[in-house]
Structure 1
Amino acid sequence: MNQFVDITNRRVLYRMLLMLDPLAQPLWGKMKPQQMIEHLIDQVQYTNGTKIPSWDGPHENTEGRKQRGIYTDSEIPHNIVLEQLPDALTYPDLETAINQLMKELDAFDRYFTTNDVKVIHGGFGPLNYYEWIIWHGKHFTHHLKQFGVVM
């Protein structure tokens, strides 16, 4: 699974994120670069204790989805839409949003270091820290490919 972004290598990740052009057009989808970063912030906040995910599982095939989503080299499909884009941006510019994302990732590490927890993923159920590292890596890779930062 080494074709995915390593979210634990924050220096490299930060440099990749700074490669984003605020005016870049996506290769697919409708997000602008800052919307994508703010989306990643939102998703990481569900895994760092800032936002509390809900889940009414277990559901049929949850474990199978988890195995395929986490433990294979499968990528997130292009043009998958699971939520509406917000009407307004939260941060004043892309660089500020990127810096906030890095802070949220640091909070993610601290949350799992200081809490013996698993955090809910809507499709895969409870995930531990290492499973979230894999999933966030796949998710970040998906969006960085969307803007041509990684191939």
Structure 2
Amino acid sequence: MESLFKPETTQKFIERINRLTPQAKAEWGKMDVAQMLTHCQKPLEIASGELVPKVSPIIKLLFGKSAKRSILRDPQFKKNIPTFAEAKIVDQRVFDTEKKKLIEYVESFQKKGPKGITKAAHPFFGPMTIEEWDALQTKHLDHHLRQFGV
């Protein structure tokens, strides 16, 4: 399993991000490439404790644990799975700005390592180990880079 805590993995992801162009088209989903770059920042913000999205307690209770098991067990995210409101990016974004910000978040995640992960439970999945936080970030970023062909 790849890990964004490893510098070589982080470098591979940054190289993939740098291969994106403003004209890149999604193979599935509704976001354009700049929106995707913004969307990919949100889980990293959650992992660091910068963002705490509002999640319905009922939805969390009904689906949180089973969704966590599925996401962590499966080698890749499934296409078109729902996301939380704060990660639904529908407004226009500036490609170069969002690309730079995402790279900064990825580099920060790697440099801070496990100490940079929030001590709080994930707002949807509940308590997570450091390894689970890492796997979630790595799989999520890979999913969206594959969505845009890199």
> If the length of structure 2 is used for normalisation, what is the TM-score?
0.76
Distance 1:126 1:106, change over 3 A: farther
Mark the runs of 5 or more structure 1 residues left unpaired by the alignment. Answer: none
Distance 2:32 2:147 in 1: 10
Percent identity between the two aligned chains: 24
Distance 2:115 2:89 in 1: 32
Distance 1:19 1:62 in 2: 34
Shift of 1:78: 1.7
CA deviation string 1:70-99 (max 9, x = no partner): 1x134322223434433232xx433x3222
Shift of 1:52: 2.1
Determine the structure 2 residue equivalent to 1:148.
149
CA deviation string 1:21-41 (max 9, x = no partner): 210111111211111011011
Shift of 1:61: 5.6
Letter matched to residue 43 of structure 2: Q
CA RMSD of aligned residues (A): 2.7
Determine the structure 1 residue equivalent to 2:61.
59
* Structure 1 counterpart of 2:91, from 80, 87, 97: 87
Distance 1:126 1:54, change over 3 A: farther
Distance 1:61 1:46, change over 3 A: closer
| 8 Å CA contact 1:118, 1:126 repeated in 2 | yes
Determine the structure 2 residue equivalent to 1:120.
122
Distance 1:85 1:67, change over 3 A: same
Letter matched to residue 126 of structure 1: P
| 8 Å CA contact 2:40, 2:102 repeated in 1 | yes
Match of 1:36, SS? helix
Distance 1:33 1:126 in 2: 31
Determine the structure 2 residue equivalent to 1:22.
22
Distance 2:98 2:137 in 1: 17
| 8 Å CA contact 1:6, 1:13 repeated in 2 | no
Residues 1:131 and 2:132 are matched in the alignment: yes
Match of 2:51, SS? coil
Equivalenced residue count is: 141
Distance 2:33 2:116 in 1: 32
Q: Which runs of 4+ in 1 moved over 4 A?
A: none
| 8 Å CA contact 2:4, 2:138 repeated in 1 | yes
> If the length of structure 1 is used for normalisation, what is the TM-score?
0.75
